[in-house]
């Protein structure tokens, strides 16, 4: 299995604190060592980093820990391979373009029995069940809407698609088009919303604290979504099995 990390904020926000704790799980506090990746939206643009080395000692992960990339939507993934070899093309998150937007997807779970026919324009490059499911979601979104729909319409369509896939295995996923971030839980996914007044958070996986009041304004709102809570002194909310949540401007909108 793998682990997921997502962030959705109402202002470009630095992920280094959360990523530092998360990357510890790729070899130190846990064994998700079969590659990793992260995608940061900056407006409509995207920075996409993947590496088949462990995130604890990948030079690319060093860059992410030290370079303050600010983003409103981020999806990261550390992999423990179940299906598909340890190859660069099998590292999440995956990216495709639809309606002139980049779409980013990462999955934690296993979809042994889900290999639907891909009859349209989206095809996997690697051999994972995850990328196959992502291509199917993109295919069905493209069929369902002629152009970019509203976030509410997209959420309805995604709920139908997730409900179709979820019975075929374990399907925790994060998806973003840069406008919003969708999080679907199957077995394990948690989130936290941070806003004014900001407090100090302590990482669970490393001896590191950050007082968010020192690096935010009172108007900032940030939601962080992770397979398992990343901090030890905050209350994270578990997303119920088979629920799809949508995060916009740092808040969880639809329950």
Residues in contact with its own copies by CB under 8 A are: 42-52, 59-60, 63, 66-67, 87-91, 95-102, 120-126, 142
> Least CB distance from residue 167 to its own copies, whole Å?
26
> Least CB distance from residue 13 to its own copies, whole Å?
16
Known active-site residue 135? no
Instruction: Kindly tell me which of 90 and 172 has the beta carbon lying closer to its own copies.
Output: 90
Q: What's CA 133's distance to the chain center, in Å?
A: 15
Instruction: Kindly tell me which of 125 and 238 has the beta carbon lying closer to its own copies.
Output: 125
> Least CB distance from residue 19 to its own copies, whole Å?
15
Catalytic-labelled residue, pool 2, 91, 135, 252: 2
Instruction: Kindly tell me which of 157 and 204 has the beta carbon lying closer to its own copies.
Output: 157
How many Å apart are CA 20 and CA 66, to the nearest integer?
Answer: 10
> Least CB distance from residue 122 to its own copies, whole Å?
7
> Least CB distance from residue 95 to its own copies, whole Å?
8
Instruction: Kindly tell me which of 137 and 201 has the beta carbon lying closer to its own copies.
Output: 137
How many Å apart are CA 15 and CA 27, to the nearest integer?
Answer: 20
Instruction: Kindly tell me which of 99 and 112 has the beta carbon lying closer to its own copies.
Output: 99
| Unique residue bearing structure tokens 């959705």 | 8
Q: Strand 200-202 relative to strand 190-195: parallel, antiparallel, unpaired? A: unpaired
Instruction: Kindly list the catalytic residues.
Output: 2
């Amino acid at each position: 299995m793998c682990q997921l990390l997502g962030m959705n904020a109402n202002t470009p926000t630095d992920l280094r604190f959360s990523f530092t704790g998360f990357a510890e799980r790729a070899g130190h506090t846990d064994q998700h060592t079969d590659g990793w990746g992260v995608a940061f939206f900056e407006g409509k643009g995207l920075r996409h980093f993947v590496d088949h080395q462990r995130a604890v000692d990948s030079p690319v992960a060093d860059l992410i820990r030290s370079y303050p990339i600010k983003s409103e939507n981020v999806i990261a993934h550390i992999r423990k391979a179940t299906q598909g070899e340890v190859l660069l093309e099998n590292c999440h998150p995956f990216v495709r373009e639809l309606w002139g937007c980049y779409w980013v997807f990462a999955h934690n779970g296993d979809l042994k029995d889900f290999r639907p026919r891909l009859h349209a324009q989206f095809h996997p490059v690697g051999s994972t069940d995850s990328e196959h499911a992502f291509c199917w979601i993109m295919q069905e979104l493209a069929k369902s809407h002629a152009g970019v729909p509203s976030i509410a319409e997209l959420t309805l369509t995604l709920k139908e698609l997730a409900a179709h896939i979820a019975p075929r295995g374990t399907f925790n996923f994060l998806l973003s088009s840069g406008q919003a971030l969708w999080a679907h839980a199957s077995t394990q996914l948690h989130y936290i919303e941070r806003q004014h007044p900001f407090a100090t958070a302590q990482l669970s996986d490393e001896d590191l604290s950050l007082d968010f009041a020192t690096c935010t304004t009172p108007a900032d709102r940030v939601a962080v979504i992770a397979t398992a809570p990343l901090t030890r002194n905050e209350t994270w909310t578990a997303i119920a099995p088979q629920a799809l949540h949508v995060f916009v401007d740092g808040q969880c909108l639809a329950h």
